Every structure is written in C-alpha cells, then in structure tokens.
Structure 1
Amino acid sequence: MNAQVDVLTAGYAEDRVASTVTLIRDQDAVIVVDPGMVAGRHLILDPLRDLGVAVEEVTDVVFSHHHPDHTLNAALFPRARFHDHWAIYQDDRWDSREAEGFALSPSVRLMATPGHTLQDISTVADTDEGAVVLTHLWWNAEGPDPDPLAEDLEQWRAGRRRVLDLHPVLIIPGHGAAFNPTYVE
C-alpha cells in the first residue's frame, strides 16, 4: 500500500501570502508538510478533521524551508517530530541528519533541493498513481520563473531538473494548487 496525499489548503502569494499545507498518510505515518501562514487556523484544522485526523495523531511535520510562511502553525501538532534540511526535532531533542534520502515512512522520503533557499527540501510520496512531489521549486504552476527570491538560480534549476527526472504525476508547489508537471517546460 502506498501513501495517500491530500492538500489541506492551497496557498497563494499575491498581496497576501499563504503556504500550501498538505497531509500525507502512509501506514503509521501521518505527515503534515509546510503548516505555515494561512488566513485562519481553521483552514488547516477543519480539513484535517474532515479527513478523520486529530492533531495529536500527526507523527511528523516537514518544513520545506524555514520561512515563516511555511512554519508558522507548526505548534498545532504537539506530538509530531519536525523535519528540516539537517535534523529531526522533538521536544528537547535535536537529532542531526541530512535530509537527502531520509525515509519518513516506507513510501515517503525527503530530497535536498536547494534553490529558493540553500536549505530547501522536497518531500516525495509514492502513491498508487505515481510519485507526488511537494516542493518550493515552484511557487505555483504559473511561476514565477525564475524564482525572484532564489538564493542560487543554478541550484534552483538543477533542483527542478531532479524533480522532473522523477516523472512525478503531481507537483504540490509552495504557494498554489497541485498541478500535473507535464505542463511545465
């Protein structure tokens, strides 16, 4: 059995900003990716409840990077382990590890994809339909291209190539609705 992926709220970056917040379930793992800024916490909590998930059941939270618009609501998940580019955090523990290839569950792994920031990571979920990649290498399906805030455009381009080489069926971007990457050049 493979991972199940549900977008809890699609983000945006216009005159206001919100991150795309996603739930991944795989066996015993209940993972929330980028629980950052949203117009109200109910935009995270209500979809979770509708999917039958209590905040106490969330086992892991992944930060694609450390900007507040992707991390602000992390404290909603009191029992979770928190993952970033170089460690796992829980309570008063800081366990160093590289993100590249780290498996959160049998069907979910992390991938180092610097570009937007030098510490960016992407989450790859193997689903019954194929690979789904949650990443800030795309803000949304339309762009911007290139990322105007990228710390290293060459790494950003290389990260996009790495993601596309996985032939994902879906990309869930940092600030927009999920899209089929066949529409991306």
Structure 2
Amino acid sequence: MTTTKDIHGDAPLTRTAAHTILTTGYTLSTGPGVAATVSYVRDGDRHVIVDPGMVAGRDRILGPLAELGLGPDDITDVVLSHHHPDNTMNVGLFGRARVHDHKAVYENDQWTDRDAEGYELAPSLRLIRTPGHSAEDITLLAGTAEGVVAFVGDLWWRPNGPVADPVAPDQALLRSSRLRVLAAADIIVPGHGPAFPADDTAPR
C-alpha cells in the first residue's frame, strides 16, 4: 500500500512489520474499570509488546499471544508509551525483553540511556517523541503492508478522543503531537480503545 503519507520524514522506510491487538482497552466513566489496549508487533526477529498495562486478567494478554504461537519468553522488546500504571502494570510478564521508554533501554541489570526520538527497533519500527498526555509520551510507528500504524498510548484514549485530555498539562502540545502522528500514520491504536483511521475524523 502506498499513500501520500509515506513520504513524511517520520514514517519508517520499510513496510515489513505486522501487528495484532491482543486486547482492546476501555475506560468506564460511570464507575471503576480501566484497561489498556495491548498490542503485539513483529518485524523480522523482533517480537514487540506495546503498553502491557492494566487488564481484567493476565489471560487477556497471554491468551491471544498463545494463539499466535508465542509465550512471554518469546517477546524481545516491550515499548512503554509513558509511565502511567494503567499502561505499564504487566511489564513484568516479559522478563527476557528489552524495555523501551522515552529516554532509555532497560535489559536485565543494564540501563542504557538514549533518546527515543528517531530510534529504530527494526527497519520498520521507529519511535518518536509525542508529548502531551504527559511529558514523556512516545509513539511507535510500524510500517506494515496496510500502511503506517501508530501505537500512541494516551495521546488519544479512544477513537473519540477525548478532544481535550483532562490530564494533559498542555493542550497545545497535545494537539501538536497529534498532528505530527496524523501526518505520518494511516492507522492509530489508542491507549484505551480500538484502532481507528488517521484521517479527518480523528480528534485534534
């Protein structure tokens, strides 16, 4: 698939990745209940989990992963979009993985500083900084046969936004990061809901 967005500087140069949403998250406004959207991304020999956060039970992550023929020890990398507990709660399931955040890579007892901006996990997997929901937010851009998929954490909670993030310290910065993602991506995977198209219907 070729789109006009493919020429944008943030988009990965190749389209060899594939992804599966393991569990679709939610937020309930009428009572307790929050779950992260947890995703699996593969590119070559890299097996990546994005935002292994709060879920009703760990089987919501491990069950769909097993259906793909994978166990926790097969995961090579975990990407944390930011450090809020609802997006990180189950990172310990993947004890052999390298863990990536906005400033470093963590593996066993090794902490390696590096800026996430432009960091490539694999030829089709690139991190960019997208602050707004928090100062540390990052997005994983995956080049797939269907286009560029952006795993954005809580830059968007769900397809309808919220347009104004009630916990964002800087709404203008949030909007700037959203526009950057929309310029590069074809599909957005939000922090607590199903994927949606990166088109004119996406909240700004």
Alignment TM-score > 0.5, same fold: yes
Using CA pairs under 8 Å that are at least 6 residues apart, name the structure with larger relative contact order, 1 or 2: 2
TM-score (structure 2 length as normaliser): 0.88
Q: Tell me how large the CA RMSD over aligned residues is.
A: 0.9
Structure 1 unmatched ranges of 5 or more? none
Give the alignment partner of residue 163 of structure 2, picking from 131, 135, 145.
145
Instruction: Report the more deviating stretch, 38-47 or 9-18.
Output: 9-18
* Residue correspondence of structure 1 range 46-57 to structure 2 within 5 A: 46-57=63-74
Q: What is the aligned-residue identity percentage?
A: 50
Contact 1:8 1:23 (C-alpha < 8 Å) held by counterparts = yes
Equivalent AA in structure 1 for residue 121 of structure 2: L
Deviations 1:131-162 (A, max 9, x none): 00010211000111111111221110100010
Moved over 2 A (4+): none
Equivalent AA in structure 2 for residue 12 of structure 1: Y
Deviations 1:100-136 (A, max 9, x none): 0000111001010000000000010000111000102
Mapped partners of 2:104, 2:139: distance in 1: 14
* Residue correspondence of structure 1 range 47-126 to structure 2 within 5 A: 47-126=64-143
Give the alignment partner of residue 133 of structure 1, picking from 128, 139, 150.
150
Mapped partners of 1:112, 1:102: distance in 2: 10
Mapped partners of 1:87, 1:37: distance in 2: 23
Instruction: Give the Å deviation of 1:54.
Output: 1.4
Instruction: Give the Å deviation of 1:170.
Output: 1.0
Count of equivalent residues: 184
